[in-house]
Structure 1
Amino acid sequence: MNGPATVTSNPQLGWGTDKNYADLLAGLVNKTGDDVTWTEGSSSTSDGGFMNGTGFETANVANTPLPNMDGRYAIDVRIGRLPTHVGTFRGKRLYNRIYNMLKDCCIAKHDPSIPGYCEKTRPECKKQCDLENVVYSNGHTTYRSDSVTSLYVHYSYFNDQFYPGIQDLGFQMVAKIYQAMADSDENCFYWDFPGTRRTYICYVASRVEIAFATNGGPIAGVLNVELIWNKKTMPNTWNCEKTQASIDGMMWGNRYRFAEVMRWPKDKILPFTFCTDPPCFQQRLKIEEPWYEGKGCKRLDWPNGCGPNSESYNPGYNCPPVA
């Protein structure tokens, strides 16, 4: 099924042909340091799918689970290409505000019908949480701070009962993702307003989603959020592809935290960070069921520049850091 192309940072999902299957194994060995042994039932199929060990063929198409990577957890970090405005918020200041907004909007306050589950349409959850006093230019000579950037939760579910602490870790990671965006000079611009010091105004992705595991088994956690400014965001203010490397590096550097909470080896937790478009943020998920991709979302079969022979981190192509 054709759909919007995505740019991804990791080579491990290079399904499609027998060569890609062999490359996948080599890539996993290269990136995790493990020897990878697949059962006969996990072999690739003629149409580019996989057998999952039970004889059930799984093709890499919409509405079909991705193949299980033999005990490896795939953690998706999806970053939208459309921008939104966060003003002078960046660094720890932005992290703290986003983190607190997530705790306020993603935790049901009144008799939750499903523990760990929230979205803006549920009566026990807040519809939105606001980042107030967002500075912006009122023309080129003056600034104002009477604007608001609101956080909307499209889907939030964490199996905190089975993995204690996983929900809070998800909140922290999304807050860190937004912090990494605003901390990148690619996404911030100086404004010289009369009577004040130079003002650094920043932009971030409007959409972010973190989900795991996306390659088989019941979902442990999903957080799909959107930031919307109540003014018009200028175009070409946010560059996803140039920011992706820092987000990916942050995720790889925090694998040990997922390992601790999920009680799983760090080298079997693989982040997949990629820039993408609206269809890849639209899934119809069910609690305690495997991940199903939304209609119209398609990953690249093999990310450009991240072949299995890569021996080191390549920031030019945003290959995954070597742990």
Structure 2
Amino acid sequence: MTSKDKAEQPDWLEAELADTIDEDYELELSEPALSEEIRRIYQKAHPPSIPRIDYFRALLTLQAELIKLQDWVAYHKEKVVVIFEGRDSAGKGGVIKRITQRLNPRVARVVALPAPSDREKTQWYFQRYVPHLPAGGEIVLFDRSWYNRSGVERVMGFATEDQVEQFFSDVPAFERMLVGSGIRLVKYWFSITDEEQQMRFLVRIHDPLKQWKLSPMDLQSRVRWEAYTKAKEETFARTNIPEAPWYIVEGNDKKRARLNCIDHLLHQIPYEDVPHEEVALPQRVFNPSYERKVLPPELYVPPKY
């Protein structure tokens, strides 16, 4: 970015950069506490990405547009569903976190369902997802979705071939029904290479702050890499419909993947500025006879830091 470009940045962006750089930096602390050998391999596999300040500047600009999108959705009672799929450690959670970071949780919410219960296993397959679909004025981000059936459930043997075939038969009609009902449906697949997933798994194994992200199912996904690839390819072939196409996000570079995905999402929805009531801070009411009471010290959190 040239000095001229920087000079043309709006004042709010520079102020926000100065005010929130620490908060965003916390989210970006991806350099794990690794052994020197793994650190060397990791750094060799990841040449320098976007400079941090340029990344934050672009991210904040996109997040400002997401707020405009949110306001438009709420104002016009639009309904938006965004699906995030991809291999384990592909970066789905990272982009979802940046999308929702500055949005109103009453408008934009994340759905990440656990494994189905015994009762849910006897229901129509899509039934447990339906209650989470948006009402007017809502954006729902699915961190994995009904495509579990053609992915992990199929590869891990949790679904029979007949069930998978039924899924492929049903999902185009199901998604056309959603779109026909007024839902704007966008589907993303985050793609990483075999080598990149292996490196990210090693990072998680050696970083105590990230070990919780590894489950036995994740580890099995390494063993069954090729099976997941075949499942992904058939999913694309049979569910990439004009009403709800798939979009592939190249995810080896996390920062670029986040920026590219958010930018693309903003271009899928024809949002525009909406009317806003002018906000004015009212004057505080002062009561001369009121005296603030001193609360007992045991009510306060100890100031350890």
TM-score (norm 2): 0.22
Instruction: Indicate the structure with greater strand content.
Output: 1
Bigger radius of gyration: 2
Q: RCO greater where, 1 or 2, for CA within 8 Å and sep 6 or more?
A: 1
Instruction: Indicate the structure with greater helix content.
Output: 2
TM-score (norm 1): 0.21
